[in-house]
Every structure is written in structure tokens, then in C-alpha cells.
Amino acid sequence: MSRKKATDQDSILSHPIIVRLTENQFKKLEKIRKESDIKTIGEVVRKILNNRPIKLLHKDITMNQPMEEMALIRKEIKSIGVNINQQTHRFHISQSNTEKSFHAIKTSETYKSMEPKIDRLLSIISKLAQKWLQE
């Protein structure tokens, strides 16, 4: 069974062009390819020929440490949230008032343990916001 013809015949890349480049020119194209989301050098050349924009991606390595710290804090907050959900469940299934008050006190202590983590998270976010808004 043969393949179906494309509906838009103008968009088919049917004319191969072989071009020789100097090492410097090739390195420039390769650098553009690596810094963007483009997968091949041919795509880079087609975008340049069509005057289409090429989005370059930059990675700021100074953001690695704060991002790792925020991910760790997120993980800790999530585990505290799981504990609070379990304590709330135990509160709802408990029979006596003393047991309910015990679970309520334990839940409030767990909430208090989350406060410094949230404060740290907010301080990191405010520093990142200052840096982001500076540029």
C-alpha cells in the first residue's frame, strides 16, 4: 500500500541542496542549533532563509542551588501535608472528645512545623523575583 500524498504540496521539502561551509561557519550554525530547541542544522538554515525567528534557550546556572532548595522544601511541605491529612482522618474517626482534642493539638503542632519552611520558601522566591525583575 502506497503512502497518501500530502495535502499541502508546497510545504514538502523536495529540493535537496548541498552546501560546503568553512569550519567556522559550521560551528556558528551548530552553536545556534545547540542553544535553541531546533534539532537539525538543516532546520536552522531553513529558518534563516525564511527570516523566521530562532528562539535561543539560556540556562542560568546560578539558579540551580535555589531551585534544588525549593524542590526540597516542596517535598518536605508535601510530606507534612500528608501527615496533616492522616491526623485529620484520625480526628474524624475518633470516638471520644479527649482523643479528638489530642489529634487537634497534634495537627496544630504539625502546622507550626510547616511555618519556617514556608517562610524560607517565600524568602527564596522574593530573592528570585528581585533578580528576575532586575534584568
CATH, residue 87: 1.20.58
Domain that holds residue 46: 18-58
Q: Which of 58, 85, 107 is the last residue of a domain?
A: 58
- Give the per-residue pLDDT at 82: 92
Residue 95 lies in a domain: yes
- Alpha-carbon distance of 66 to 132, in angstroms, equals 13
Q: Looking at the structure, tell me whether residues 51 and 109 fall in a common domain.
A: no
Grid coordinates 510547616 are at which residue?
114
Q: Looking at the structure, tell me whether residues 75 and 127 fall in a common domain.
A: yes
Q: Looking at the structure, tell me whether residues 73 and 122 fall in a common domain.
A: yes
- Give the per-residue pLDDT at 5: 74
Q: Looking at the structure, tell me whether residues 92 and 123 fall in a common domain.
A: yes
Residue 65 lies in a domain: yes
- Give the per-residue pLDDT at 11: 72
DSSP-derived letter for residue 7 is S
Residue 119 lies in a domain: yes
Residue 11 lies in a domain: no
Mean pLDDT of successive 10-residue segments in the chain (135 residues)? 72 83 94 90 91 84 85 92 91 90 90 89 88 73
pTM of the model: 0.53
- Give the per-residue pLDDT at 31: 92
The total number of structural domains that make up the chain:
2
- Give the per-residue pLDDT at 29: 92
- Give the per-residue pLDDT at 135: 56
Q: Looking at the structure, tell me whether residues 117 and 72 fall in a common domain.
A: yes
Q: Looking at the structure, tell me whether residues 76 and 100 fall in a common domain.
A: yes
Q: Looking at the structure, tell me whether residues 46 and 72 fall in a common domain.
A: no
Q: Looking at the structure, tell me whether residues 130 and 85 fall in a common domain.
A: yes
Per-residue DSSP letters for 89-134? HHHHH--SHHHHHHHHHHHHHHHHHHHHHHHHHHHHHHHHHHHHHH
